[in-house]
Structure 1
Amino acid sequence: MQRVLLFGSHGQVGWELQRQLPESVELLALSRAQADISNQEQISGIAASFHPDLIINAAAYTAVDLAESESEKAYAINRDGAAHCAVAAAEQGARLIHLSTDFVFDGHRPTPYPTDSLRRPLGVYGASKAAGEVEVERILGSKVLILRTAWVYSAHGKNFVKTMLRLMKEKESLGVVGDQLGSPTWAAGLAAAIWRAGEEPGFHGIQHWTDAGVASWYDFAVAIQEEALALGLLSRAIPLQMIASSSYPTPARRPACAVLDKSASYAALGAAPHWRQALRQMLTDNDSE
């Protein structure tokens, strides 16, 4: 049995990791209330008691806009917490899979970002996640897998898909940003990839994983409405207008085009489905928490 310690059990990815638990894994899954990754002593103590072979850090401060006014909290979790997980892994001789984000980039590249691209975050959230990457690399070297992802959604927690479904029931029309591009990623597929990566000790360093394809938030919203109507999750269609980011100002700047190059991870773990296929499957399953 592989002993796996999971931080961030109540998040979207943590929830899916537990749903897909392999029979060969003994899992200790802890929520933020049960394990504060910003507390080094607590994290090292938990790891020392459990003796994991693998630690998965799916815990993060993800409030992108709020991070602009809560930078100390964002760094405590995303940088220091990541470092604490790495120290615990080093103390136990365990591997670490650390989840990161496309927000470590500025989104100015017209083609997908290779894994070795220079980090250029635009805001506090991205900067704190970039700092976390640097820390785990410094502490663990080749014993860490940093897995960057993007635009994650699931039937659990707060995310764009669930927000759009709610607003499409409540509103007569919606404006959705059309000049930010990325790759929507179903947390279930990401979780499956993480479990496969956990079985591949040679799969390490910085890697990228999202579902295949590219969309704007507007494209994503259009697909959500179309798929939800086809499945009977919505009873009517509403007009969707494509708007510019400048029409929807937020405290934090977002990367305009932070598409990730997944060629290495797809070769190692198997390719992900197109994002629209994954969206359809998620809405078909329509599991509740």
Structure 2
Amino acid sequence: MTNILVIGANGQLGSEIRALSVSYPHYTFTFAERKALDLSILCKLEDYFEDKSFDAIINCAAYTSVDKAESEEELADTINHRFVSMLAKISKAKKITLIHISTDYVFDGKNHCPYVETDSTNPQGIYGQTKCNGENALLSVAPENAVIIRTSWVYSNFGNNFVKTILRLGRERDSLGVIFDQIGTPTYARDLAKVILDILPKISNTAPQIYHYSNEGTASWYDFAKAIFEFSGVNCRVNPITTDQYLTVAKRPYYTLLNKTKITNEFGITIPYWRDSLKECLNSLGEKQ
């Protein structure tokens, strides 16, 4: 029996892991909610592990408010960087397998081909920088059996996300302007959750490894919105707009396609196409036409 601690249990990914947990009876799960483990109070972290024993930790927790991070740098850094550093040290000391979730925002979006794990990072905002610092801290501590998984454009049956926002706006308005010049791939959190639980017993390394995971295929936010309305039957016109026409506090990378060759080859996984996974999510939400 493998005892797994899931941190960030109420987020999109943590909630999907919880939903899938019944399908993994050989694992025992502890889902850490904020009242039990407040990530902003670092001095309490070691206390939490004092009387507990885990074989693996899945860190889904993050400060993800990209724009608010520009004015809340200290909080973002505490959760995305300093907490990860301490978690890596605890994992190393206690020999706990660690899976840490990171983001495509560690890249500047200036590539013209999908990013591989060894490409140079160059985050464009505070959120991306703090996530990058968290990665570097984990790599520096270097616990055995540690994995960083970078992902992109996550949506889920749970929490607030692009899919739910677009569905709501589509029912309120006749038309929407959606950005067409930012390119990446949507990631259904349930697919990522399943991959994490499937690869967990196969992780065996002496130094931390970085992997990329998103669904397969390519999309803009415009393509994503069009597909949401197509599959849900919402009658709303989508108009393509440029990034310059939708100003945000934080700068977004234009191109963050992730190359998944490493994770598929090393763990023998098959990754679903993003449109197929979107249909599955909408069906779960009762939105599929």
TM over 0.5: yes
- Look up the SS of the partner of 1:164 in the other structure: helix
Alignment map for 1:236-251 (pairs within 5 Å): 237-251=235-249
- Look up the SS of the partner of 1:63 in the other structure: coil
Aligned counterparts of 1:84 and 1:143: Cα–Cα separation in 2: 16
Q: Does 1:83 align with 2:85?
A: yes
Shift of 1:279: 0.2
Partner of 2:164: 162
Q: Taking every aligned residue pair, what percent have the same amino acid on both sides? A: 37
Aligned counterparts of 1:17 and 1:287: Cα–Cα separation in 2: 20
Shift of 1:239: 1.2
Q: CA offsets, 1:94-113, max 9 Å, x none?
A: 01100000000000001000
Count of aligned residue pairs for this structure pair: 282
Shift of 1:28: 0.9
Partner of 1:124: 126
Alignment map for 1:100-249 (pairs within 5 Å): 100-202=102-204, 205-229=209-233, 234=234, 237-249=235-247
Q: CA offsets, 1:29-79, max 9 Å, x none?
A: 112232122433322222232211101111000000000111111001000
Aligned counterparts of 1:94 and 1:281: Cα–Cα separation in 2: 34
**Cα RMSD for the two superposed structures:** 1.4
- Look up the SS of the partner of 1:240 in the other structure: strand
Deviates more, 1:12-21 or 1:264-273: 264-273
Shift of 1:174: 0.2
- Look up the SS of the partner of 1:199 in the other structure: helix
Aligned counterparts of 2:33 and 2:66: Cα–Cα separation in 1: 20
Aligned counterparts of 2:43 and 2:236: Cα–Cα separation in 1: 52
Q: Is the 8 A contact 2:108 2:123 kept in 1?
A: yes
Aligned counterparts of 2:146 and 2:286: Cα–Cα separation in 1: 32
The TM-score with structure 1 as length reference comes to 0.94
Aligned counterparts of 1:138 and 1:188: Cα–Cα separation in 2: 30
Q: CA offsets, 1:83-140, max 9 Å, x none?
A: 1211221222101100000000000001000101111000000000000000111112
Q: Is the 8 A contact 2:98 2:147 kept in 1?
A: yes
Partner of 1:274: 273
Q: Is the 8 A contact 2:40 2:75 kept in 1?
A: no
Shift of 1:228: 0.4
Q: Aligned AA for 1:251?
A: V
- Look up the SS of the partner of 2:35 in the other structure: coil
Q: Aligned AA for 2:2?
A: Q
Partner of 2:72: 70
Aligned counterparts of 2:49 and 2:202: Cα–Cα separation in 1: 21
Aligned counterparts of 2:268 and 2:65: Cα–Cα separation in 1: 30
- Look up the SS of the partner of 2:118 in the other structure: coil
Q: Is the 8 A contact 2:156 2:188 kept in 1?
A: yes
Q: Aligned AA for 2:82?
A: D
Q: Aligned AA for 1:3?
A: N
The TM-score with structure 2 as length reference comes to 0.94
Q: Give the gaps of 5 or more residues in structure 1.
A: none
Aligned counterparts of 2:286 and 2:189: Cα–Cα separation in 1: 13
Aligned counterparts of 1:180 and 1:68: Cα–Cα separation in 2: 20
Alignment map for 1:6-21 (pairs within 5 Å): 6-21=6-21
Shift of 1:287: 6.7
Q: Is the 8 A contact 1:155 1:287 kept in 2?
A: no
